[in-house]
Structure 1
Amino acid sequence: MFSHLQDADLENWHDFEVESRREIYALLRGIGEKNQLIRMLIGGEADVCVTSILAVDEAANAVFLDCSIDAEQNRRVLTARRLSFETTLDKVRILFAADQVETATYQGNPAFKIAIPTTLIRLQRREFYRIATPVTNPVRVQIALPAALGGPATFPLADISCGGIAILDNKMVLGQAIGKEYPDCRIDLPEIGPVTTTLQVRNALDLTLLNNKTNRRLGCEFINISRGNLSAVQRFITKLERERNARIAGLT
């Protein structure tokens, strides 16, 4: 169900899927009551806005969300084929999606309305927490490919966690390569330094953009990463979190 989420990075979503309507309602209500900010992905990481839950109406099967002050962004939300949402509640990461969004009013103010999701993803394990890497100045990984494939190749990262990375292979250099391991990969982390590790491709997702170009996203797991390299990854994630929190604080 969550194959369109920006982080199609977990091999077994069902292990973390919540299907109990009562539990989903309680989680969404908790997110709203604590005024947790929610990242709403309109077109993947390239088009993201911040929203929050205004109310959850179980009888009407509706979740009311803040809309943007940007009319053009609101238009993109309403015309999106699918929206993905990401937030946290008590340090637990919550992911859900909506196929349809409508305009509504809540307490006299404009709002968005979506149906209460039938399932959501709840990730409690810290190592699965992924954070998007910068789009404008992307982090890059060099993979030592054999000469038959053109030799070493460099790919931009889409996100990073303590368990692995997602890379963008838009030229389809690697193929889907699921299960394949690439030793001695070098990830250059800005302000932190290089990290070297073996990567194993765990999943692949092709995303068709609005201009009909296709992006391929490969979820890769760190294999036997050293403690020093993992520490560098953790420091980089902390740095990204600090920068993202500062940006979000500036929007509120």
Structure 2
Amino acid sequence: MATQNQTDDDSPFRVHSRREIVSLLTSMMEKNQLLSLLIKGGSESVITSILEVDEDDGALIIDAAPSTMLNESIVASNRIAFEALYNSIRITFVVDKARKVEYQNRPALRIDIPASLVRLQRREYFRIPTPIAKPLRCTFRITQPDGSFITIVTLLNNISAGGVGITDEKKILPTTQGVIYEDCQLELSDNTLVSVKLQIRDCKEFKMTNGKTVNRFGCQFIDIPRAVLGAIQRFITKLEREQNAKASGMM
């Protein structure tokens, strides 16, 4: 079943420790780390940085956007996302609101220190291609308004501990970003099927060499059980070994 809900409890990579969060944000501030601030589902963004971490007040002061209009949009938003690549680690977090303040005689924004953040090592979210000779499938079971089900079979292009890339050759799967599909079956090469929950993160139309157009999706795992994540990580390790062996001429 698909829902529009976005989850914040999305992985074993989520950090909830207040001390660890404050320490990380302070380190990013001291090194003038740039962050992407995203609103309206990512359709509008601005580059910012952390000016101050006020642990006692539970607040972060960040650079304001360069335009008044964009600042007004940020302040009016109920969900503000942040992304950064810090020391080869992808950091993401979300806050509810921002308000305009002045910091050292210049415009700034105040947000709450996030209750949690996601920290992904490069290896954890690096996607590895799946075999072309023996295509694997990702099957979506979608509930219709009348309670019936339809099944959409897509091809698995790549996989990581954070999600998958898929191709919908028949262009049946809805392209709406942010939708979560609760009932998906992921086929692994050792004839293992695992059940996963997937969120559509992006979709692009792709033209193949034969002139046919297909839809390619980037999907994120949501609430993935540790046992399933372990199976996926073992599968990724197996793929890496096979590809390294081929590259070295051992296969």
Structure label with greater radius of gyration? 2
Counterpart in the other structure of 1:195: none
Which of the residues 51, 54, 58 maps onto 1:57? 54
Whole-angstrom CA distance in 1 between matches of 2:6 and 2:182: 20
Q: How many residue pairs are counted as aligned between the two chains? A: 189
Query: Gapped runs of 5+ residues in structure 1?
Result: 131-141, 185-197, 208-215, 232-252
Q: How does 1:66-215 map to 2 (within 5 A)?
A: 66-124=63-121, 126-128=123-125, 162-163=160-161, 164-165=163-164, 169-170=173-174, 176=181, 178-181=183-186, 202-205=196-199
Q: Detail structure 1 runs of 4+ shifted over 6 Å in the superposition.
A: 142-145, 149-154, 198-201, 220-223, 228-231
Taking a change above 3 Å as real, the CA distance of residues 112 and 176 of structure 1, as seen in their structure-2 partners, is same
TM-score (norm 1): 0.56
C-alpha displacement at 1:200, in angstroms?
Answer: 7.0
C-alpha displacement at 1:70, in angstroms?
Answer: 2.1
TM-score (norm 2): 0.56
Taking a change above 3 Å as real, the CA distance of residues 67 and 27 of structure 1, as seen in their structure-2 partners, is same
Contact 2:6 / 2:180 at 8 angstroms: preserved in 1? no
**Higher normalized contact order (CA 8 Å, seq sep 6+, divided by chain length):** 2
Q: 3-state SS of the aligned residue for 2:183?
A: coil
Taking a change above 3 Å as real, the CA distance of residues 4 and 78 of structure 1, as seen in their structure-2 partners, is farther
C-alpha displacement at 1:19, in angstroms?
Answer: 2.1
Counterpart in the other structure of 1:136: none
C-alpha displacement at 1:124, in angstroms?
Answer: 2.5
Whole-angstrom CA distance in 2 between matches of 1:219 and 1:201: 13
Whole-angstrom CA distance in 1 between matches of 2:10 and 2:139: 28
Contact 1:162 / 1:230 at 8 angstroms: preserved in 2? no
Aligned-pair identity (%): 30
Whole-angstrom CA distance in 1 between matches of 2:242 and 2:200: 29
Paired letter, 2:33: Q
Tell whether 2:29 aligns with 1:32: yes
Q: Deviations over 1:32-84 (max 9, x none)?
A: 11111111111223222211101111122210111111222212111111011
Taking a change above 3 Å as real, the CA distance of residues 104 and 230 of structure 1, as seen in their structure-2 partners, is farther
Q: Which moved more, 1:89-98 or 1:54-63?
A: 89-98
C-alpha displacement at 1:93, in angstroms?
Answer: 1.9
Whole-angstrom CA distance in 2 between matches of 1:161 and 1:26: 31
Taking a change above 3 Å as real, the CA distance of residues 178 and 52 of structure 1, as seen in their structure-2 partners, is same
CA RMSD of aligned residues (A): 4.5
Counterpart in the other structure of 2:220: 219
Contact 2:124 / 2:160 at 8 angstroms: preserved in 1? yes
